[in-house]
């Protein structure tokens, strides 16, 4: 223990910035952490500033910590400037990267919030790592100490050049402990108490990491472990996009809001916290998985919803889907066996699928914000100026979707949208290949709402919007393609077929398998099979199996018998009975469908529960696909299964009785 008089112990030091050259006393493992509660910046919000410092920090994986520390030491020793870019890819499949000079975590493939990064060298009393500038200065002073010396004049009290809150001084008491103080009004007595580790009434006890890099009580790791109680709970932690409907609509229909709907007052910080904390397994020894299926998800223009309700941000939506894919895979022996049969080494824990959002809307100004004046035509009113006040919540929600249709139908915007989405797809694909040169798997597309129509037109116009990759499966989800193509007098045909004589236009999407997934209550969705062959209008869509029964007899009964729900209305019709016939499609019709999808079916329906047929359920249906486990299970099954074309296609024909 060092004991020395108070006089002449406090010395002012020169300013220490982020570029200071530091030599650590002992090169031992250093753990790295990132903030998860308070972002440094938010996307599309240049005026945002953190209201408080981050206090919740999550530890990077072991391999990430090692690579971050190597990059940090290399950057320091080369004495580079702060402006020099030293980036280290981190987290699951390197979806994120750390700017080492700036100590910031940001997403790699999309625009998202940035978070503070800290080295775990010195920790406060809550075992939160201290900020970079304070840590750098503490390490410099720490190296000046000689704890084995009996020199009474050796210095152990220093004045901080960067204030840390109210604290201006640091007193080192032993090799692992120090105190941050606002002042030393207590003189020698206060120092004696500190050096005896009795504590400080107005100070903050700080602790240096152990030889393994961990603080004595790793509260951050314990909190993270509690959050990550298995993949099964991750989707629930992320939250449901459809909760937005519960916030916005109950008052419209005279309903009383319950405690759950109070989530509408969330400012978004809790959502971002759940999103960043649950995005990957930080306890893994490596952040790299073998990816065999790369999926790009594209939203429609209506993601203005994400600007007004951060909870409905599309990146968050894709995170929910990614978590659900892991959940379903972790609980399905059948899906794991599909990967095992093809020889995957990590089939027990790795589904081999990575999903990336394509966030493009912010690059195009549509001049449709509700209250923002029209910069191009200032004499025109804003959207708010022409919006009726009746059922305002529902009108705002559906207005965002309706604007999709109006804008995309305008040739000027349509060309800009297609060009922008096409550019983003190729840019993200090239970046992913640069970061993952070993990737040689399949690429799939998912389009939601108008995003599905955007992708459909890109796939049909490959001479103009050529993609740098081939598309295996294309999933249209909650899609208005059917009604758009009907209005455009357009039929759909496989790219491999010779064009049939028709008075209508013909479009040929360039993909191996086309899927059209919809909830029967979704007011935006339409079927597309009748646009391939008119006779398909008389047959029911295929049924998406419930994921928990997808391996049993229940799902097969649903596929054969069709939707039980459709029996209910028929029972209420006087003198009528609903009759279902199981039929085999004519070979020519089946072949046309199999040329577009190996299963011979394009339309796949989710069915609601018996109590879910109302206007709120209809609104929820359109925004809830990515949180639906049935959708995740269906996507997994279709991606991982071998695509053997069928010799025949069985469909269910329904003859509805006439109404007297």
Residue entry with tokens 């879910």: 612
- C-alpha–C-alpha distance, residues 460 and 448, integer Å: 17
Q: Are 69 and 90 in contact (CB under 8 A)?
A: no
3-state secondary structure 492-535: ECCCCCCCCCCCCEEECCCCCEEEEEEECCCCCCCCCHHHHCHH
CA distance to 3, 115, 269, per residue, from 50 (Å): 41, 10, 11
Q: Going by C-beta distance under 8 Å and a sequence separation of 6 or more, which residues neighbour residue 387?
A: 370, 395, 396, 399
Neighbours of 102 (CB within 10 A): 19
For the chain, helix (H) and strand (E) counts, in that order, are: 21, 22
Name 517's bridge partners: 477, 604
- C-alpha–C-alpha distance, residues 415 and 398, integer Å: 24
- C-alpha–C-alpha distance, residues 335 and 325, integer Å: 11
What are the backbone dihedrals phi and psi of residue 116, each rounded to the nearest 5 degrees, phi first? -70, 145
**Secondary structure of residue 454 in the 3-state scheme:** helix
Name 653's bridge partners: 539, 581
Q: Are 63 and 85 in contact (CB under 8 A)?
A: no
The two structure tokens encoding residue 322 = 């990614």
3-state secondary structure 545-614: CCHHHCCCHHHHHHHHHCCHHHHHHHHCCCCCCCEEEEEECCHHHHHHHHCCCCCCCCEEEECCCCCCCC
Q: Are 290 and 250 in contact (CB under 8 A)?
A: no
The secondary structure of 232-254 as a DSSP string is: GGHHHHH--TTHHHHHHSGGGGT
Sign of the C-alpha dihedral computed for residues 526, 528, 531 and 534 taken in this order: negative
What positions carry a catalytic annotation? 449
Q: Are 32 and 71 in contact (CB under 8 A)?
A: no
- C-alpha–C-alpha distance, residues 297 and 279, integer Å: 17
């Amino acid at each position: 223990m060092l004991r020395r008089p108070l006089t002449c112990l406090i010395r002012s030091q020169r300013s220490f910035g982020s570029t200071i050259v530091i030599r650590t006393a002992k090169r031992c493992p250093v753990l790295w952490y990132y903030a998860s509660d308070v972002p440094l910046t938010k996307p599309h919000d240049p005026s945002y500033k953190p209201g408080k410092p981050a206090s919740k920090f999550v530890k990077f994986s072991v391999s990430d910590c090692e690579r971050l520390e190597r990059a940090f030491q290399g950057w320091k020793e080369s004495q580079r400037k702060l402006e020099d870019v030293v980036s280290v890819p981190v987290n699951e499949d390197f979806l994120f990267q750390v700017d080492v000079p700036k100590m910031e975590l940001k997403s790699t493939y999309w625009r998202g919030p940035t978070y503070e990064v800290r080295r775990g060298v010195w920790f406060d009393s809550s075992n939160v790592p201290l900020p970079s500038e304070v840590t750098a200065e503490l390490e410099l002073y720490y190296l000046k100490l000689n704890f084995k010396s009996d020199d009474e004049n050796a210095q152990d009290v220093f004045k901080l050049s960067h204030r840390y809150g109210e604290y201006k001084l640091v007193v080192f008491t032993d090799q692992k402990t120090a105190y941050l103080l606002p002042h030393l009004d207590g003189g020698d007595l206060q120092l004696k108490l500190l050096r005896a580790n009795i504590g400080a009434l107005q100070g903050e006890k700080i602790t240096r990491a152990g030889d393994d890099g961990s603080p004595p009580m790793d509260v951050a790791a314990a909190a993270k472990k509690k959050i990550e109680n298995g993949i099964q709970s991750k989707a629930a932690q992320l939250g449901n996009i459809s909760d937005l409907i519960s916030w916005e609509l109950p008052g419209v229909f005279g309903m009383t809001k319950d405690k759950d709907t109070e989530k509408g007052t969330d400012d978004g910080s809790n959502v971002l916290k759940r999103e960043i904390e649950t995005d990957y397994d930080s306890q893994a020894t490596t952040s790299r998985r073998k990816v065999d299926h790369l999926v790009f998800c594209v939203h429609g223009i209506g993601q203005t919803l994400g600007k007004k309700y951060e909870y409905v941000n599309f990146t968050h939506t894709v995170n929910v889907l990614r978590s659900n894919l892991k959940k379903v895979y972790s609980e399905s022996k059948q899906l794991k066996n599909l990967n095992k049969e093809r020889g995957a080494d990590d089939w027990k824990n790795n589904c081999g699928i990575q999903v990336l959002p394509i966030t493009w809307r912010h690059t195009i100004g549509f001049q449709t914000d509700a209250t923002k004046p029209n910069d191009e035509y200032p004499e025109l009113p804003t959207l708010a100026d022409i919006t009726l006040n009746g059922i305002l919540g529902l009108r705002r929600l559906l207005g965002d979707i309706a604007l999709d249709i109006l804008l995309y139908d305008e040739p000027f915007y349509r060309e800009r949208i297609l060009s922008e989405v096409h550019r983003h797809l190729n840019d993200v694909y090239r970046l992913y290949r640069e970061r993952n040169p070993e990737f040689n798997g399949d690429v799939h597309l998912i389009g939601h709402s108008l995003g599905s129509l955007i992708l459909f037109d890109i796939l049909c116009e490959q001479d103009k919007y050529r993609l740098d990759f081939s598309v295996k499966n294309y999933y249209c989800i909650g899609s208005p393609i059917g009604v758009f193509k009907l209005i455009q007098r357009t039929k759909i045909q496989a790219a491999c077929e010779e064009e049939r004589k028709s008075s209508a236009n013909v479009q040929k999407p360039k993909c191996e398998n086309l899927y059209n997934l919809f909830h029967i209550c979704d007011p935006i969705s339409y079927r597309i099979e009748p646009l391939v062959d008119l006779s398909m209008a008389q047959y029911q869509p295929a049924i998406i199996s419930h994921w928990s029964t997808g391996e049993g007899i229940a799902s097969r009964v649903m596929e054969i018998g069709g939707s039980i729900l459709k029996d209910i209305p028929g029972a209420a019709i006087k003198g009528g009975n609903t009759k279902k016939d199981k039929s085999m499609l004519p070979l020519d019709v089946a072949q046309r469908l199999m040329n577009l999808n190996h299963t011979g079916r394009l339309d796949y329906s989710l069915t609601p529960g018996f109590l879910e047929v109302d206007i709120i359920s209809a609104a929820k249906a359109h925004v809830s696909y990515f949180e639906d486990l049935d959708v995740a299970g269906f996507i997994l099954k279709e991606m991982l299964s071998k695509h053997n074309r069928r010799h025949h296609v069985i469909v269910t024909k329904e003859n509805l009785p006439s109404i007297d």
